[in-house]
Amino acid sequence: MPQTHNPHSTRHSTRSTRGQGAGRPTGPTRELRFRFGENIRLKSPVQGYFYLQQYAEGIRRFEGIYNPSPDDERWGSVCYDAQGQPSIARFLIDQAISKHNLGAQLELARHLLRQGENTAALKQLHTLELSSLDPIDRMLWHGARSELLFRLESVDSALPDAEKALLEVQNLPEISVCSLWVYGQLGKLYGAQGDDHSAVYYLNRALEGTLTGNPGLELERACSFIHLGRFGEAQNELTQLNQAAENASSPAGQSPFSSHSALLELAWGRFYQAQHNPTQAVRHFQEALSRAQAAGKTADKATLEAALALSTLLEQTGGQQDAAAQLETARDCLSSPLERLLFELRETVVLRRQNLLTPGIAAQKLLEISSSFARLGRVRETCWALLHAADSLLEDSENPAREDAAQAALETLITQVQSVYNPALLWGERPTLSAALVSLLERRFPALMVSEPSSVIDLITLGQERIAVGGKLVPVPMRRFVEVLTYIHINGEVTLAQVVQDIFTDEPLQKTRNYFHQLRHQLKLYTAQLEVMYSPQSRTYRLETRLPLRWDVDTVRSGRDKLNGREFLPGSGSEWVMRLGAELSGLEG
């Protein structure tokens, strides 16, 4: 390639003018059709190498085209961008735009996005008429806009475009190729939101479709495993990423440390922090910080997060000056509203512990921070801020209603945790909490104190009446609550009138309505995995579970267990219970 900024100026001036971009089935076309079906159509053979993630091959194929078409230039630019040659990529995009190629105008926005020029990228996207784009480019348009809104605004504003991108590819022959990009975007968005169950689902779908792996998405999945408390899977993922990084060589003249290597060490730090191993956590966070600083501005995100994590852990172990120094390191990296909130959260916690803020002022700041995180759609960080706000409220000796105030914050926290079905997201924060708050959580909010990820919900109705999550009983202090939940489970959806008729026969309707309100409230206090949902449209109640539900009656019906004289819901005298009990007894007759 004669000139970096004009890669075709010499070669193409003396070649035939016959374009050789799109046309007969070439190497990548044949491979794509073999992998994904006969209906795939390419505007350029270079596009095929992009689909196959063979970017170096795509560049070689592009350089062999005597007179590249605008589509060749557009897809060649993507391969150059993927290989870390943005100046050549931009030149090719400009060439294609000068030939009025609509796809290249979209590619300019995506190129600006990759270069971090977010505002310019969004402006360029909005110059395009969406209806004039073909389905593939509409998918890419929505995907780019989703990523830009994620960076510039919030997770919530980014999700609709990611979902529209997925809809665009549902009926395309390229779905197997393109949907993995959209699944990856959805996985990242749900992970950022704090819904790590959904994040893992979409990241799994994305990674199943990759041909060469994707370290960035694999690292995202490892972090979601950590937040879910799935430490074995997280460790396996991180170990494999370490091995891959060790086997990869750095280009000549470049630092062996990169943003990815710093983020990998950061994930190891979170892995140990969530398991309450501060010594190992500090070691990995320090290594992450060192690598991030060596990598330069491209790793500012890793620098910020490593420094903030260290500020918390070092203050916890008595290193107040070191904690303050880490906060200053983090302050120098702030560049977005989200990063400023992350900084303010950790700064407030550290200053409170050093008695540089009163508990009342700290609590007020933390509640404001939690509200700001919520507006950005960040459930996980909202929960962290609420947890520390409750801690500060409980320590506020000037407030005679401090326990009530702390409980109010924890009630809000439970609602947030319930929205993502994951109390494990609080594990890394636990060592930083006061003994008073831990005691309150154990007494009043045991659902937030689970010690390991739950695997199954057991509905126990034979010989006794209990519900257990992950082997631990759910101690809801309400009469007949197991019967009510069993009744809803059997029927799917029930009206209040049905419950009155079959269970609370002699109770007034309003009393039964109050019972349901209290039951839903109590379940939220004791478990995040089970909820009674109410639909205002149909005026029905239904049981929603976040984990598989195992009912002992099903094991008897299937023949995997014997009744052995056990009575169905022995504390109930309802007719429906007696009917089902008689049916079960008949199975052993």
Question: What CATH number is given to the structural domain containing 428?
Answer: 1.25.40
- From first to last of its 589 residues, what are the pLDDT tens digits of the chain? 433 345 444 344 333 333 444 444 456 667 666 665 666 778 998 998 888 888 999 999 999 999 999 999 999 999 999 999 999 999 999 999 999 999 999 999 999 999 989 999 999 999 999 999 998 999 999 999 999 999 998 899 999 999 999 888 877 777 767 777 899 999 999 999 999 988 988 898 888 767 677 899 999 999 999 999 888 889 999 999 999 888 875 544 444 557 899 999 999 999 999 988 999 999 999 999 999 999 888 788 999 999 999 999 998 877 778 999 999 999 999 988 999 999 999 999 999 999 999 999 999 999 999 999 999 999 999 999 999 999 999 999 999 999 999 999 999 999 999 888 888 899 999 888 999 999 999 899 988 887 666 567 889 999 999 998 866 788 888 888 999 999 999 998 899 889 889 998 888 888 888 888 888 888 888 887 788 888 877 888 888 887 778 898 987 887 767 787 889 999 888 999 999 999 998 887 6
pLDDT at res. 1? 40
**Pick from 428, 433, 434, 383: nearest CA to 409:** 383
Residues 139 and 36 in one domain: yes
How far does CA 160 lie from the centroid of its chain?
15
Contacts 24+ apart (CB under 8 A), 58-64: 58/28, 59/83, 61/26, 61/27, 61/28, 63/1, 63/7, 63/11
Can you give the three-state secondary structure of 465-479, one letter per residue? CEEEECCEECCCCCC
In this prediction, residue 457 carries a pLDDT of 84
Final residue before a domain boundary, out of 422, 449, 476: 449
Q: What does DSSP assign to residue 543?
A: E
417: three-class secondary structure by DSSP: helix
CB contact set of 229 (below 8 Å; sequence gap of 6+): 274, 424, 427, 452, 453
Based on the domain organization, do 62 and 155 belong to the same domain?
yes
Residue 259 lies in a domain: no
In a domain, 264, yes or no: no
Q: How many domains does the chain have?
A: 3
pLDDT at 9: 45
Helix (H) or strand (E) holding 160: helix 155-169
Report yes or no on 432 lying in a domain: yes
User: 485 and 442 in one domain?
Assistant: no
What is the predicted pLDDT for the residue at 385? 98
pLDDT, position 517: 84
As a whole number of angstroms, the distance between CA 267 and CA 346 comes to 18
- Listed residues 414, 449, 484: the one ending a domain: 449
Whether 288 and 320 share a structural domain: yes
Does 290 lie in the same domain as 204?
no
Same domain, 73 and 196: yes
Residues 183 and 117 in one domain: yes
C-alpha dihedral sign at 349, 354, 360, 362: negative
Q: Can you list the alpha helix ranges (DSSP code H) found in 209-258? A: 215-228, 231-247
> Residue 544 burial by CB count (10 A; 0-12/13-18/19+): exposed, middle or buried?
exposed
Q: What are phi and psi of 543, to 5 degrees?
A: -100, 125
Residue with tokens 């540089």: 356
Q: Would 239 be classed as within a structural domain? A: yes
The DSSP symbol for 446 reads: G
Same domain, 471 and 544: yes
Decide: 576 and 502 in contact? Cβ < 8 Å.
yes
Q: Which domain holds residue 74?
A: 11-243
Q: What is the pLDDT of residue 249?
A: 57
Residue 252 located in a structural domain: no
Of 449, 476, 502, the last residue of a domain is: 449
Q: What is the pLDDT of residue 511?
A: 87
174 lies in the same domain as 81: yes
User: Do 128 and 103 fall within a single domain?
Assistant: yes
Q: Give the pairing type, strands 549-551 and 457-460.
A: parallel
| pLDDT of res. 545 | 80
**Does any domain span residue 167?**
yes
CATH at 159? 1.25.40.10
- Label residue 408 exposed, middle or buried (CB < 10 Å: 0-12, 13-18, 19+): middle
Whether residues 236 and 274 fall in one domain: no
The three-class DSSP label of residue 430 is helix
Structure tokens at 22: 């799109």
Has residue 257 been placed in a domain? no
Do 283 and 212 lie in one domain? The reply is no
Task: Tell whether 260 is covered by a domain.
Answer: no
CB atoms within 10 A of CB 169: 24
